[in-house]
């Protein structure tokens, strides 16, 4: 759990565990400390200089498992039920990292060698923004030089439908704190005369969107680059049923930016979302109190070419303009990551299409993704290598939620696809 320092020893143990499995598979392995969680690096470079070098990236850290009482079996005791492995990290991303390790191990056990040179980089800070990995990548471009980066940390569009991602959204995540009076006040004695921080916060966050669901922060869309019409066409052609999706998420109705479809809203458009809210009395019954402080956790998902810091500055300026007199509103940066987009042309994508088709007995689709993997843009820039995002999760897998699972069938087919990819390449 990279976010929780009380679990640092467990996180370090996870790093050692994955290092040991890489070593057992036959890779030279190193656990590299950072000022955060360690980076695990495995290498096998004996395919020869005429063979391509690939870099496999994944993360061994996970999101906290709470609420624990909603898990059917304990989050850190992997349990197989109904063709699924349930555990925190089953799909995001330990299971998907492990299928890569096992595919490499299979090659090395059966043939004593790999058809390509391989670098495996597994980090422990993805779920908290990969703060130290960007610097590591930039400082080690020679060692990490490769023809392609391959990542399995995403999902397939539907069961049986292998998927290659053409984009990831970026992210800026911040805390918005509204301070009012020096301490909580009696809401009868003072209410009406002192500006209420909870009401002020509600006013501020309500101003983040207009009636049409567009983000109303001035300048927010200025640097949005239009997506490739070809990708838009491919996304529109996907077999996606909005009503089925609505039932899956269990919401009374879907909603978002006017004039965009659900997939476009999730994959191609930037957003501003409240992730958490806290203020005043929330216990049983009533307590009459005017809270001294209110707080919101806010994330903006970003698309090319929005810059996380620049967007945060725009939000900060907007908050400064709309915050009512009588409170102090402050924006505190938590983490961020740049968006990423590819045109899916080149050797690695051709090889992936063939390997996925061989393993799944059908051609892959091109999908987008609303989530973020902060280091992907750094890989693309610093290593100048194409990034292949080929994940084996499935819709409904409960990533970041109770009862996270990975399909056993996909684990096996993913392993086959990856093993075949190295041959195809
Ligand atoms: N694997 C996910 C991101 C993801 C999800 C990519 C689905 C593609 C498909 C990753 O572990 C994740 O959760 N990222 C965070 C990043 C953040 C904490 C910096 C996210 O998107 O919220
Ligand atoms: Mn992940
Ligand atoms: Mn995640």
Q: How far is the CA of 403 from the centre of ligand 1 (A)?
A: 17
d(C-alpha 302, C-alpha 310), whole Å: 11
Question: Does ligand 1 lie within 6 Å of residue 371's CB atom?
Answer: yes
Structure tokens at 161: 């439908």
Structure tokens at 308: 């996380």
CA 371 to ligand 1: nearest atom: 21
**What integer best gives the mean pLDDT of the chain?**
97
Q: How does pLDDT run across 119-134, given as a tens digit for each residue?
A: 999 999 999 999 999 9
Mutation choice for ligand 1 from 126, 164, 299, 374, CB with most ligand atoms inside 8 A = 126
Peptide bond into 26 cis (omega under 30): no
DSSP summary character for residue 379: I
pLDDT confidence of residue 17: 98
Q: How far is the CA of 98 from the centre of ligand 2 (A)?
A: 13
Question: Does ligand 1 lie within 6 Å of residue 372's CB atom?
Answer: yes
Q: How does pLDDT run across 12-43, given as a tens digit for each residue?
A: 999 999 999 999 999 999 999 999 999 999 99
Instruction: Report strand pairing: 117-123 vs 53-59.
Output: parallel
d(C-alpha 221, C-alpha 257), whole Å: 13
Using alpha carbons, list the distances in angstroms from residue 184 to 45, 216, 288, 323: 63, 31, 10, 20
Q: pTM of the full predicted structure?
A: 0.94
Identify the sign of the CA torsion 45, 49, 50, 55: positive
* Percent of the chain predicted with pLDDT > 90: 98
- Please answer whether residues 145 and 118 qualify as being in contact, where contact means their C-beta atoms are separated by less than 8 angstroms: no
Q: How far is the CA of 371 from the centre of ligand 1 (A)?
A: 5
pLDDT confidence of residue 53: 98
The residue nearest atom 13 of ligand 1, judged by CA position, is 127
pLDDT confidence of residue 265: 97
Structure tokens at 1: 């759990």
Question: Does ligand 1 lie within 6 Å of residue 43's CB atom?
Answer: no
Question: Does ligand 1 lie within 6 Å of residue 414's CB atom?
Answer: no
């Amino acid at each position: 759990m990279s976010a929780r320092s009380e679990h640092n020893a467990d996180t370090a143990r996870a790093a050692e565990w994955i290092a040991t499995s890489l070593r057992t598979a036959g890779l030279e392995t190193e656990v590299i400390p950072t000022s955060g969680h360690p980076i695990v690096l495995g290498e096998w470079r004996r395919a020869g200089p005429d063979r391509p070098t690939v870099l496999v990236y994944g993360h061994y850290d996970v999101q906290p498992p709470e609420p624990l009482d909603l898990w059917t079996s304990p989050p850190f005791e992997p349990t197989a039920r109904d063709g699924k492995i349930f555990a925190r990290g089953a799909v995001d991303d330990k299971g998907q990292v492990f299928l890569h390790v096992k595919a490499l191990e299979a090659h090395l056990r059966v043939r004593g060698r790999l058809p390509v040179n391989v670098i495996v980089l597994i980090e422990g800070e993805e779920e908290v923004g990969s703060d130290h990995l960007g610097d590591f990548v930039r400082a080690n471009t020679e060692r990490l030089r490769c023809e392609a980066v391959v990542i399995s940390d995403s999902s397939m569009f539907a069961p049986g439908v292998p998927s290659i991602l053409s984009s990831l959204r970026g992210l800026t995540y911040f805390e918005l704190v509204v301070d009012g009076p020096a301490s909580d006040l009696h809401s009868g004695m003072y209410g009406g005369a002192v500006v209420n921080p909870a009401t002020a916060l509600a006013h501020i966050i309500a101003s983040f969107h207009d009636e049409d669901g567009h983000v109303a922060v001035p300048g927010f869309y200025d640097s949005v680059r239009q997506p490739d019409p070809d990708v838009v066409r491919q996304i529109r052609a996907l077999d996606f049923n909005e009503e089925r999706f609505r039932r899956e998420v269990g919401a009374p109705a879907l909603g978002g930016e006017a004039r965009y479809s659900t997939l476009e809203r999730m994959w191609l458009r930037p957003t501003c979302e409240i992730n958490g809210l806290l203020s005043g009395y929330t216990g049983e019954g009533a307590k009459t109190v005017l809270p001294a402080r209110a707080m919101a956790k806010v994330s903006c998902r970003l698309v090319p070419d929005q810059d996380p810091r620049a967007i945060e500055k725009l939000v900060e300026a907007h908050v400064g303009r709309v915050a009512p007199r009588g409170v102090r509103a402050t924006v505190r940066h938590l983490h961020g990551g740049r968006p990423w987009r590819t045109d899916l042309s080149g050797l690695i994508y051709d090889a992936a299409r063939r390997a996925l088709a061989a393993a799944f007995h059908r051609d892959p689709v091109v999908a987008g993704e609303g989530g973020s993997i902060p280091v992907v843009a750094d890989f693309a820039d610093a290593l100048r290598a194409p990034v292949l995002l080929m994940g084996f999760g499935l819709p409904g897998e409960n990533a970041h939620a109770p009862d996270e699972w990975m399909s056993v069938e996909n684990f096996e087919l993913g392993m086959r696809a990856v093993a075949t990819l190295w041959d195809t390449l």
